[in-house]
Structures are given as structure tokens and as C-alpha cells.
Amino acid sequence: MRHPHHLDLDAYFARTGWSGERAPTWATLRSLHLAHVVGIPFENVEVLLGGVPSLELADLEDKLVRQGRGGYCFEHNLLFAGVLEALGFRVTRLAARVRMGTDAIRPMTHMLLMVEVPGEAHPYIADVGFGSGGLLEPLPLLPGVANPQGAWRYRLVRERDLWLLQTVYGEDGWFTVYAFTLERRESVDFEMANWYIATHPHSPFRNTLRVQCSGPHRRAYIEGRLLTVVHSDGSREERELTDDHEVLRLLVRDFGLLLPWDTALPAPSEASARREAPRRPDSAARPEES
């Protein structure tokens, strides 16, 4: 019989730089969400090197906390869910279809969370693992309420039986990031989606390095060998990185990922680049990116 894994909360809080009241309150949820997003980068190095990430809580804790690494949506949000439940929150694991500028029906390859806070009249949507400029803080599960988060704004709206997460991009107005329902998803659902994302030949994570570091007023991305920095005033900087050594230096020095210096990253896939779909205004993320 498998016994539940008990998280080392002290180690997790040290990794994220969080020090608050360890109680299931709105203040705790909000500050811990932001600390996780800022403190643990989004990255797909393991998949790029041919691996399939383990979704066991003990393995997630080891990778994202003790090894000083990041991960993608399943890894981030499953770890965050475990932390929240250890603090006394009630968490429901949900799945989403990423849109990012397209109405095509795509598989449910993104994971997010619905969190109930004692004493609050409504639950919140939490998502610390979206690799294309996702939430900094939780959103109240209420339709049409614009929520400023640092330099960005988000809201949830209804579309028939769906909830849509939207954000604002300059003069283009509200832009749909992904669509989801409130149906509870089980571990086997995420295991299947994780295997698909890590092994499918058309998966954006198998062919190109994708890393994100987020903050309230600045976001930095690496896609392949392109470094993009987006600032709160809408300005952006782009720079082509020369080789794997420069990529690794940035990953370790600026993105805080503890990778061996002899890590050999595959060259960006030309086939993957040709498959690029419509892009959002401030990054090069593909619609199915999670």
C-alpha cells in the first residue's frame, strides 16, 4: 500500500522565498501563488532531452525544490496543489484546452486548480504553471471581473458551459488564453496528457527549448535560442543567443535553473518552427503550450 507523501514545507517555502502565515486564508493563497510563479521557472529541459517527467509528488518536490529546477504545467500545479492541501485548502484539479488566438479544438493539455478558501463566498482559480504569460495571482471564480496583476490584467468569462481565462494585450483588447470546465480531473487524466505532451512528435515541448521567468513588471522567455524580455510599459527586447554555452549561462545565471554545464541541448527544430500557429502579441508561444 502506497502511503501519501508528506511535503517538506520548509524546503518549499525556502525555494519560493515565501514567509507568511501557514493558514488557509486568502492572503496566504495570494502571496504563495505569486511567490511560486516568481520563484520557480517554467521550463521543458527534461522533455527536450527525451525524458517524461514523473508526476509523483515526491519526485516533483525533489526536482522543483531540492534540485533547483522548474517544469511545465502538470509539475508546477500538482506540487502547488500538494502544498495548498497541506496548509488546509480544498483543491480541485481541472483541465483546459489552450486557445491562444485560435478557435481550433485542441486536446486538454493544460492543468489548473480550483481552490476553496474557508470563509470566502466563492472559490478561486489558481495556475502557477502556464508557460505563456499566465496568472501571477489567483482569480476569483466570478464572470467578467477584471483583475489587475502587476502590469497585466485578467478576467474569467462564460461561454455556454465553459469558463474562459482572458488577458489584455495592448490595443487588441481581451484575448482568450484557455477554456475549461469545473469537472474534477483525476491523476490518470494528467498522466495521459503528460505522456502525450512529452512524447508526441508534434509536441512543442519535444523540439524546442521553452523557458519563462515571470514577475509583476517583467517577463523573460527563451524559445530555442531567442531571448525575449517583455516590460510592463509594453516594450520588448529580443536577442538571438549564439550557442548552447550562452543558453546555459542564461538559464543558470538569470533564470535560476541548476543545470550541469555539460548539458547538451538539441538545436531548435526547423520542422517545429514550420508548424507554428497564430501567436499572441507578446511571445512566441504556440496555442497548445501549457
Phi, psi torsion values for 119, nearest 5 degrees: 90, -10
Q: Which of 73, 76, 213, 282 is catalytic?
A: 73
Active site residue 110: yes
Going by C-alpha positions, the residue among 124, 99, 98, 120 that lies closest to residue 109 is 98
Q: Which three cell numbers stand for residue 155?
A: 478576467
For CA atoms 243, 60, 214, 178, give the dihedral sign: positive
Q: Which of 33, 36, 127, 282 is catalytic?
A: 127
Write the single-letter amino acid at 280.
Answer: R
For CA atoms 192, 188, 49, 248, give the dihedral sign: positive
Active site residue 245: no
Q: Which three cell numbers stand for residue 96?
A: 483546459
Q: Which of 76, 110, 213, 282 is catalytic?
A: 110
Active site residue 172: no
CB 220 within 8 A of CB 254: yes
- Alpha helical stretches, state H, 135-227: 187-199, 204-207
Give CA–CA dist 17/110, Å, rounded: 26
Residues labelled as active-site residues: 73, 110, 127
